[in-house]
Amino acid sequence: MAYSKRCIVTGAAGFIGSALARLLLKETDATVLVVDKLTYAGVPESLKEVGLDPATLASSNPRLAFLKADICDAAAMDRAFAEFRPDTIFHLAAESHVDRSIDGPGEFIRTNVTGTATLLQAARTYWQGLDDAAKAAFRFQHISTDEVYGTLGATGFFTEKTPYSPHSPYSASKAASDHLVRAWHDTYGLPTLITNCSNNYGPYHFPEKLIPLIILNCLDGKPLPVYGKGANVRDWLYVDDHARALLLVNEKGVPGETYNVGGHNERTNLDVVKTVCAILDELRPRGGTDGGSGAGTDGGSGAPAPRPRYEDLIQFVADRPGHDLRYAIDPSKLMNELGWQPRENFETGIRKTVEWYLANDWWWKPIHEKRYAGQRLGKA
Ligand SMILES: NC(=O)c1ccc[n+]([C@@H]2O[C@H](COP(=O)([O-])OP(=O)(O)OC[C@H]3O[C@@H](n4cnc5c(N)ncnc54)[C@H](O)[C@@H]3O)[C@@H](O)[C@H]2O)c1
C-alpha cells in the first residue's frame, strides 16, 4: 500500500495499538514510533512478530522504534515530536477497562483526560512549527469508543450525531478526551480525526476482557462469570478490521470529522459466551479428544455418559454497576464516505480468535500467571 508516513502510535503495546502497529509495519511502508508507558496492560510481546525484542525494547526492524514514556509527561512528549518528526499520530494510549475504572477512576482521569490534553499540546507546538504543506498534511487521530454515547434501548443505533451520555468513569473520561480533541481543532485549527468504535476482540487481547477471560477460564475448567442475566448487547468488531478502519480514516478522513466504526455484529453477552464454549467443545473438548476423564458410563446402562460441555461452567454473577444495556453502531458514514468494509463477521472472527489463543499460550500464560488470573473486578 502506498502509505509511508512517519507515525507515532501511543498505546501500541496494548491490544488495538499493537494490531495497528503490526498492520502498518506488515502492509504499508510506514515508520512507527511506539509511545507506551507499559502499564499492567502493556505487553511488548505483542510486537515481537514485527521485530521488537520484548525484553530490551530494542527493535531489529528499521521502521519500528519503542519509546517507554508516559503520555502525561509533557517534556517527554515534546521531545518525542521534536526528534521523531511525525506526519501523524494515532493516539490509543488509555486506561481501557470499565471494571477497573469503577475500582479506581483516578488513573483513568489522569491518562485519558490529562494525558490526551498533554499530547494535544505537544502536537500543537510541533505542528505550529511545520511548513504550510506539512501543516496541512498533519493528522492527530484520536481513538475512542462508542461507550461515550451511553446506552440504547432494544432498537436504534449510535450515529456520529448521537449526544454524549457516558455512564462509567471509563466512558466519561473518554468523552472528556473526545471533547478536548474537538476543542483543539476548533480553537487552534489542529487537523484532528476522531473514531468511535464498538467492542473489539481478537488476538493479543488482555485476559481481563470478556472473550479472552472466557476462553482461558474454559481451558482452566473454571466458572465462566456472566454479569446479570447476560442480556447486555455489544456490537463486536474483529480488531484487524478496526486497525484497517483507522488507517483508512488517517488517509482519507476529513479533519475535524468523527467516524463511527462497527460491523453490525450485535450479540448478547450470553450468546458470546455460548459461542466460545461451542467452538472449544469442538476444538478442545472437555476431558480430552478420546472421551477422557469427563466421559464415563451412564449408570448401569453401559452407554457413555454425555460429554461435559463448557457451557455447563457458566455462572451468573452480580451485574456491573451502571451496566449499559445495549451498544450498536451505525457505520454508514465510514462505509459510504470512505469505503470501509469489515472482512470478518462475528462467526469467522471468533473462531480465528479461539484458534489463536489455543495456539499462542506463550503470549497469554505469563500474563495469566503473573499479572491477572481472572479475579472479579469492578463491583464498587
Ligand atoms: N478495546 C475495545 O474494545 C475498544 C473499543 C473502542 C475504543 N477503544 C479505545 O482504543 C484504545 C486502545 O484500547 P485497547 O483495548 O487496545 O487498550 P489496552 O488497555 O489493551 O492498551 C492500552 C495501552 O496504553 C498504554 N498506556 C496506558 N496508560 C498510559 C500512559 N499514561 N502513557 C503511555 N501509555 C499508556 C498501556 O501500557 C497499554 O499498552 C483506547 O483508547 C480505548 O479507549 C477500545
pLDDT in tens, 158-215: 999 999 999 999 999 999 999 999 999 999 999 999 999 999 999 999 998 999 999 9
Taking Cα atoms as reference points, which of 85, 78, 61 lies closest to residue 5?
85
200 CB-side CA count, 13 A = 28
Q: Is the minimum distance from the CB of 41 to ligand 1 under 6 angstroms?
A: yes
What pLDDT, on the 0 to 100 scale, is given for residue 75? 98
Instruction: Band the pLDDT of 300: cuts 50, 70, 90.
Output: low
Cell (9 digits) for 78: 515534546
Q: Phi and psi dihedrals of 196, rounded to 5?
A: -115, 115
Q: Is the minimum distance from the CB of 42 to ligand 1 under 6 angstroms?
A: yes
Q: Phi and psi dihedrals of 11, rounded to 5?
A: 75, 25
For the range 162-167, what are the long-range contacts, defined as Cβ-Cβ under 8 Å and sequence gap of 24 or more? Answer: 167/322, 167/324
Q: Is the minimum distance from the CB of 39 to ligand 1 under 6 angstroms?
A: yes
Report which protein residue has its CA nearest ligand 1's atom 11. Answer: 92
Contact at 8 Å (CB) between 105 and 168? no
What pLDDT, on the 0 to 100 scale, is given for residue 305? 75
What pLDDT, on the 0 to 100 scale, is given for residue 208? 86
Please choose from 10, 16, 149, 367 the residue to mutate so as to test ligand 1's pocket, defined by most ligand atoms within 8 A of CB. Answer: 16
Mind listing the domains of the chain with CATH numbers?
A: 6-205+237-265+326-346 (3.40.50.720)
Contact at 8 Å (CB) between 120 and 165? no
> Measured in angstroms, how far is the CA atom of residue 34 from the centroid of ligand 1?
13
What pLDDT, on the 0 to 100 scale, is given for residue 147? 95
| Stretch 12-39: mean pLDDT | 98
Nearest-angstrom CA–CA distance, 59 and 52: 4
DSSP alpha helices (H): ranges in 29-157?
Answer: 74-84, 98-103, 105-108, 116-128, 132-137
266 is catalytic: no
Q: Which residue has the higher pLDDT, 302 or 122?
A: 122
Nearest-angstrom CA–CA distance, 205 and 367: 11
Q: Is the minimum distance from the CB of 76 to ligand 1 under 6 angstroms?
A: no
| Stretch 264-289: mean pLDDT | 94
Report which protein residue has its CA nearest ligand 1's atom 26. Answer: 93
For the range 148-152, what are the long-range contacts, defined as Cβ-Cβ under 8 Å and sequence gap of 24 or more? Answer: 148/174, 148/175, 148/178, 148/196, 149/196, 149/327, 150/324, 151/324, 151/325, 151/326, 151/327, 152/325, 152/326, 152/327, 152/328
Question: Of all atoms in ligand 1, which is nearest to the CA of residue 72?
Answer: 31
Q: Is the minimum distance from the CB of 260 to ligand 1 under 6 angstroms?
A: no
Looking at 45, 95, 126, 170, which residue is catalytic?
170
Taking Cα atoms as reference points, which of 376, 360, 362, 333 lies closest to residue 162?
333
pLDDT (tens digit per residue) in 79-112: 999 999 999 999 999 999 998 999 999 999 999 9
164 is catalytic: no
Nearest-angstrom CA–CA distance, 32 and 62: 9
Nearest-angstrom CA–CA distance, 148 and 167: 8
Taking Cα atoms as reference points, which of 244, 274, 213 lies closest to residue 335?
244
170 is catalytic: yes
Instruction: Band the pLDDT of 294: cuts 50, 70, 90.
Output: very low
Please choose from 8, 9, 15, 142 the residue to mutate so as to test ligand 1's pocket, defined by most ligand atoms within 8 A of CB. Answer: 15
| Stretch 2-26: mean pLDDT | 98
Looking at 36, 99, 146, 235, which residue is catalytic?
146
